[in-house]
Amino acid sequence: MQTRQLGNLEIRASAIGLGCMGMSEFYGATDDAQSHATLARALELGINFFDSADTYGFGHNETLIGQFLKDGGPARRAQVVISTKFGIVRQPGQYERRIDNTPAYVQSACEASLKRLGVDTIDLYYCHRRNPNVPVEDMVGAMAQLVRAGKIKAIGLSEVSPATLRKAHAVHPVAAVQSEYSLWSREPETNMLVTCADLGVTFVAYSPLGRAFLTGALDTSGLAAGDFRKNLPRFNGAAEVANQAMVDGLSRFGAARGMSNAQVALSWLLCKHTHVVPIPGTRRINYLEENAAAASFELSATELAELDALFPPDAIEGGRYPEAGMVGIERDH
């Protein structure tokens, strides 16, 4: 697996990371033993960039990764680039959230994540969502203190605007911005991707497979009770039908090249930008292996343009989150 540099740091992450969120909640039943096997296979494939957050499973996700690291000893810890996030505060059983960016919270959330992960330092620590009532300078100042204390190595921001990124970067170098970016979520193309390139910030693309919708393998009528995708406007009703027509075009594009939809979706990100790292999520070894293989495909400029045209941003129907999920998401301007 090729690697990509995180920001201007010495840290190199696999060009395709692993989103671990689904190992704890949101996409149906989870199985810790299966998740550990998937994490182990990821390392064998050279995928070392694991993405977590304190809110995933209310700490379960970090504890799961912590146990995996512990089982492998110091050598395994040294292999993994651990990224996690703070800022979304939820109560079990509820999706509605409070966003906390206060310096005191940054400090206590980091201590709690370090404990669950069982590590001395987090490689990349993100603010998950912004609370505009706390000046970004104050929040990043608190994160910079964590860097100085050796508790984290690098600072990241998730779903921020380019203006927030610039303000934060002036306080302390930001290594990565993580936002939703895929064939059907193209907002970062307006300004954020170019801002990241300008500042030397890595762009980490989350939900790069459109939460499985782009793979063409998702049967939305068969989603388990409680699957988060049941609440997402673009997975439902007329929006789903309209969006499916674009995915059908993606399936034809992939079939003509011997690529799965997931491989095309990931290759599109990697070939289009040298500073983007997608973090597809999966609980399964077979999907993981398929996704890892995407790093070895090359798409030409003509093919990239063809894919761009298959998913005109204005043609995507339905929002990417329900209203409660938009709290703390800044627009791309």
Nearer to ligand NAP, 162 or 280 (CB): 280
The span from the CA of 296 to the CA of 1, in Å, is 8
Angle CA(5)–CA(209)–CA(327) in degrees, nearest 5?
Answer: 85
Determine the angle formed by the axes of helices 192-199 and 162-171, rounding to 10 degrees: 20
The question of whether 56 is a catalytic residue gets the answer yes
Shortest distance in whole angstroms from residue 160 CB to ligand NAP: 10
Nearer to ligand NAP, 95 or 149 (CB): 95
Q: Of 67, 97, 68, 99, nearest to 86 (Cα)? A: 99
Residues 7-36 binding ligand NAP (CB under 6 A) are 19-22, 27
Residues 249-278 binding ligand NAP (CB under 6 A) are 262
Shortest distance in whole angstroms from residue 183 CB to ligand NAP: 10
Shortest distance in whole angstroms from residue 322 CB to ligand NAP: 13
Angle CA(56)–CA(58)–CA(61) in degrees, nearest 5?
Answer: 45
Is the four-CA dihedral 131, 133, 139, 140 of positive or negative sign?
positive
Listing DSSP states for 233-251 in one string gives GGGSHHHHHHHHHHHHHHH
Nearer to ligand NAP, 149 or 324 (CB): 324
Q: Give the x/- contact pattern for ligand NAP in 205-244, rule: CB under 6 A.
A: -xxxxxxx--x-x---------------------------
The count of residues interacting with ligand NAP (CB under 6 A) is 29
The span from the CA of 27 to the CA of 310, in Å, is 27
Nearer to ligand NAP, 203 or 206 (CB): 206
Q: Any alpha helices (H) in the chain, and if so which ranges?
A: 32-44, 60-79, 103-117, 136-148, 162-171, 192-199, 237-255, 261-272, 285-293, 301-310
Nearer to ligand NAP, 41 or 284 (CB): 284
287 interacts with ligand NAP by CB under 6 A: yes
Local structure of 8: helix, strand or coil? coil
Could you say which of 56, 125, 181, 206 is catalytic? 56
Of the residues 25, 284, 285, 306, which one makes contact with ligand NAP according to CB under 6 A: 284
Pairing of strands 152-158, 122-127: parallel
Of the residues 80, 134, 279, 293, which one makes contact with ligand NAP according to CB under 6 A: 279
Of the residues 282, 299, 320, 330, which one makes contact with ligand NAP according to CB under 6 A: 282
Active-site annotation, residues:
56
Q: Which residues bind ligand NAP (CB under 6 A)?
A: 19-22, 27, 51, 128, 158-159, 178, 206-212, 215, 217, 262, 279-284, 287, 290-291
